[in-house]
Amino acid sequence: MKAEMFPECRDILLPAKRHQAIVSERQKWELRRAISASPVTNFLIHI
């Protein structure tokens, strides 16, 4: 679905996409933090 075809939806779609990007970045950061907090995975990463 292209936003150009639905100009009235653009204002709804763009903030939603931006929000989704922020959420996924936070999830990646939390996952990375969880991995580094685990001694086993931390050990495996350093090998």
Please tell me the predicted confidence (pLDDT) of residue 2.
56
* DSSP assignment of 1-47: --GGG-HHHHHHHHHHHHHHHHHHHHHHHHHHHHHHHSHHHHHHHH-
Please tell me the predicted confidence (pLDDT) of residue 36.
75
Mean of pLDDT over the chain: 69
> Interior CA angle at 5 toward 24 and 14, to 5°?
25
- In angstroms, rounded to a whole number, what is the distance separating the alpha carbons of residues 3 and 14? 9
Please tell me the predicted confidence (pLDDT) of residue 26.
81
Task: Tell me the whole-structure pTM to 2 decimals.
Answer: 0.38
As averages over each run of 10 residues, the pLDDT of the chain (47 residues) reads: 59 68 79 76 60
pLDDT tens figures, 16-25? 676 677 778 8
